[in-house]
Structure 1
Amino acid sequence: MSARVRRSLLADGVTAEAAEELVSIMLAHLATAGRDGARREPPGALEQTRARMVTDRVHGAPFDQHSLGDLAAAVHLSPYHFLRAFTRAVGVTPHRYVAAVRAERLRRLLARDGATVASVAELAGIDPRHVRRLHRQELGIRRRP
């Protein structure tokens, strides 16, 4: 069945990557659904589509304010439940995930030719000291006493 769906998507002009993603989502849904259509996820699990909604939101605007309450509200969960479910699904807390995405974006911006900390900070809309602090935290560099 998945091969037929994949061929149909490719015939309709969908890219191979998008077709693979759609087929994997379909297979995940089928694997977690019972005969009656009821979901068979363990209690507290954050389904992949909800996790993807949150991670896409963070990747789309990494320097926006992403509070736990806002992210939880985006997937219609309480903040405490969302924190546990996101950590279980992704492997890190939402705060660490947002910090890692921001650090990676900063690293890419800093790797450009002629990029300075000040220019990257202005582009990201944050304070230059924050850029340095995020960079140090992600690299594990401690300040001298």
Structure 2
Amino acid sequence: MSAEDALMTPPDRSPDPASAAWRLMFDYLMRSSPQRLESLQSRGLTPNDSRVLFTLDREEARPIGTLARQWGADPSTATWLVDRLERAGLAERSPAPGDRRVKLVRLTEKGEATRKELMEEYYRTPREVAALAPVDLAELVRIFSKLNQGVE
């Protein structure tokens, strides 16, 4: 048994159905992560770079301090992350009109195009999902729609 297999707990050994479901979803996401990582690496990006890329906007520049809070990072780390995207031509910084000490960050045209390309690649249906029966796919859509809306 590999270390990866040891981390994946079969549903019948989980303490409750919610834990079993979560473990199975998590295991599938982990198993499918190499495809997402390959998409990033082909562009010289890291998972942290993609996190930044997906929170920026082309139309609305946002202060680095606000972004740092959103990312749960200190301002120097946020600056370092933005620096990486800026060097790649994916983001740009400008001083805030009312306070030049505040730096605003937005996506460049290249950054917006890169994000769009990544989303197209991420949204390609994995063959395991495409192979499911229509009734199973409908059930997955129903369940994940509910999860994305929040459980009430």
Same-fold status (TM-score > 0.5): no
Tell me which protein shows more strand as a share of its residues.
2
